[in-house]
């Protein structure tokens, strides 16, 4: 397969394939063309790509011969217009079914795969970009919080006295939440967590954190994901969390429900009861926020509490985020190259395909 890798938009520091993956794909018989400077913001030079066996090209010549264009974000129109009809586009394509950019991909006769829609099955695990990028986000969220706190995280016993450890509460113990718990524990905080899926309690405890138990609350839905809580359960959770927050220094929220806006868990009134100097890092900011005060891409100071709504957080750790994303894309490309017959009948490609045969298929 002839594969093209573009330089991403200015606000995206990651790159879809790193030289290590390029070398593996080239060894597998594929040809890779990389836009000049594509990896520079993630720490990968044009020379490293050339050594790995890629051809470096300018934007105009990048995609005209490509059978597959792999990206992080939605590729820009000027690039898409140079792709041949029938070519494949794969990346984080923001696949709402009514998205105008999907309609444009369809008009151009391209086939598009949204990496957000990799099925969460064991076989597809190594292509799962949501998990790999959530791992980075969970880790970085704790660093953002630690940096913003007016206190240290660990307990210290020194000649100048004893410092008590910070208390960190993680809401949502999925991929990002578990990584946040592990990171906060490594930094010495006393960590607690809550999730509506009771099955994660043991995972939380095995990382050395305590689980905030709320009686009769369970909302495990399809495929191991959460579903929305019933109204009476929501009230019990709100009461328990509101009470717990009063004693916390750092709160990391990661709660999501697939295909829905993020659940609103921390109200303005709850923030107002928190101790001044406390910090909230809301990883759900871009899908509406778990906290009522959150604004995506901003830090809001409210009643002495700093509420961070980081946007593009995985892009802020571009080397490792790209390394993991690239392995996901490499595995995806190897999979697609090995599929004989109708790709839409394939159990991995079928659910990921959002544009085919001139039409937008069901997205998210
Ligand atoms: P996610 O990003 O959709 O949600 C994050 C967490 O928020 C989840 O743990 C969810 O239960 C929780 N949540 C939702 N509503 C909440 C609320 N009101 N209050 C508190 N918590 C709430 O999920 P994710 O992290 O991407 O994955 C969730 C789970 O899916 C994983 O823990 C795992 O079991 C499964 N998974 C499987 C695979 C695989 O098999 N390939 C890959 C990734 C994840």
Q: Work out the widest C-alpha separation in the chain, in whole angstroms.
A: 72
Are residues 146 and 233 located together in one domain of the fold? yes
Domain match, 290 and 344 both: no
pLDDT tens string 231-276: 778 888 899 999 999 999 999 999 988 778 899 999 999 999 999 9
- Has this prediction a pTM greater than 0.85? yes
Residues 279, 252: one domain? yes
The Cα 95–Cα 248 span in angstroms is 37
**Looking at residue 215, what is its pLDDT?**
78
Sole residue written with tokens 């190897």? 334
Inter-residue contact 8 to 91 (CB < 8 Å): no
Same domain, 48 and 108: yes
Question: Ligand 1 pocket check: which of 134, 226, 266 to mutate, most ligand atoms within 8 Å of Cβ?
Answer: 226
pLDDT in tens, 25-58: 999 999 999 999 999 999 999 999 999 999 999 9
Separation of CA 327 and ligand 1 centre (Å): 22
| Ligand 1 atom, smallest distance to 199 CA | 34
Residue 78 lies in a domain: yes
Q: What is the mean pLDDT of the chain?
A: 95
Q: How far is CA 289 from CA 228, 266, 293, in A?
A: 15, 9, 8
Q: Would the CB of 289 count as within 6 Å of ligand 1?
A: no
CA-to-CA distance for 200 and 226, rounded, in angstroms? Answer: 11
Residue 160 lies in a domain: yes
Report the catalytic residues.
120, 125, 128, 131, 225
pLDDT tens digits, one per residue of 257-268: 877 889 999 999
Q: Does 152 lie in the same domain as 59?
A: no
Q: What is the mean pLDDT of residues 291-310?
A: 98
> What is the number of structural domains in the chain?
2
The helix (run of H) or strand (run of E) holding residue 137 is: helix 129-148
Confidence at 363, pLDDT banded by 50, 70, 90:
low
Give residue 296 CA to ligand 1 midpoint distance, Å: 21
| 180 and 327 co-located in one domain | no
Q: Is the pLDDT of residue 356 over 70?
A: yes
Residue 343 has pLDDT above 70, yes or no: yes
Q: Are residues 235 and 90 in the same domain?
A: no
Answer whether residue 238 is part of any domain.
yes
Print the domain residue range for 94.
2-117+317-349
pLDDT at 364 over 70: no
pLDDT of residue 27: 98
Expressed in angstroms and rounded, the spacing between residue 226 Cα and the centre of ligand 1 is 6
Instruction: Check if 171 has its Cβ closer than 6 Å to any atom of ligand 1.
Output: yes
Residue 127 lies in a domain: no
> Does residue 363 form part of some domain?
no
**Could you tell me which residues come within 8 angstroms of residue 328 by beta carbon, excluding any fewer than 6 positions away?**
115, 118, 126, 127, 128, 129, 132
Q: Is residue 123 part of a domain?
A: no
Torsion of CA 349, 351, 357, 360, to 10 degrees: -140
**Domain for residue 102, yes or no?**
yes
Report how far ligand 1's centroid is from the alpha carbon of 37 (Å). 35
Kindly report the CATH number assigned to the domain that includes residue 187.
3.40.50.720
Each residue of 133-177: pLDDT tens digit? 999 999 999 999 999 999 999 999 999 999 999 999 999 999 999
pLDDT computed for residue 300 by the predictor: 98
pLDDT of residue 73: 97
Q: Are residues 278 and 309 in the same domain?
A: yes
For atom 23 of ligand 1, the residue with the nearest CA is 174
Q: 321 and 307 share a domain?
A: no
Domain shared by 253 and 155, yes or no:
yes
Q: Tell whether 100 and 196 lie within a shared domain.
A: no
């Amino acid at each position: 397969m002839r594969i093209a890798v573009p330089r991403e938009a200015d606000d995206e520091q990651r790159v879809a394939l790193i030289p290590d993956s390029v070398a593996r794909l080239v060894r597998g018989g594929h040809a890779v063309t990389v836009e000049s400077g594509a990896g520079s913001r993630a720490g990968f030079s044009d020379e490293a790509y050339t050594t790995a066996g890629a051809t470096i090209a300018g934007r105009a010549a990048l995609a005209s011969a490509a059978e597959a264009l792999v990206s992080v974000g939605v590729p820009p129109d000027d690039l898409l217009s140079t792709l041949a009809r029938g070519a494949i586009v794969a990346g984080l394509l923001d696949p709402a079914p009514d998205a105008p950019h999907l309609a444009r991909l369809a008009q151009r006769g391209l086939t598009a795969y949204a990496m957000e829609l990799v099925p969460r099955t064991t076989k597809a695990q190594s292509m799962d970009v949501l998990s790999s990028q959530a791992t980075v986000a969970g880790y970085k969220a704790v660093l953002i919080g630690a940096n913003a706190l007016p206190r240290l995280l660990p307990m210290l016993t020194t000649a100048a006295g004893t410092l008590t450890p910070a208390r960190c509460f993680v809401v949502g113990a999925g991929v990002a939440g578990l990584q946040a718990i592990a990171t906060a524990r490594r930094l010495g905080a006393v960590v607690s967590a809550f999730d509506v899926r009771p099955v994660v309690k043991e995972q939380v405890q095995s990382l050395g954190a305590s689980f905030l138990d709320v009686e009769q609350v369970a909302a495990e839905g399809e495929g191991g994901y959460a579903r929305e809580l019933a109204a009476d359960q929501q009230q019990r959770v709100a009461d328990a969390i509101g009470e717990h927050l009063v004693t916390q220094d750092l709160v990391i929220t990661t709660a999501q429900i697939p295909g829905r806006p993020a659940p609103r868990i921390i109200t303005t009134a709850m923030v107002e009861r928190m101790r001044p100097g406390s910090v909230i890092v809301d990883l759900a900011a871009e899908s509406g926020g778990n906290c009522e005060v959150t604004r995506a891409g901003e830090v809001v100071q409210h009643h002495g509490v700093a509420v961070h709504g980081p946007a593009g957080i995985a892009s802020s750790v571009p080397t490792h985020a790209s390394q993991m994303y690239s392995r996901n894309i490499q595995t995806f490309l190897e999979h697609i190259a090995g599929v004989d017959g109708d790709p839409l009948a394939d159990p991995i490609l079928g659910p990921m395909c959002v544009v085919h045969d001139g039409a937008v298929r069901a997205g998210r």
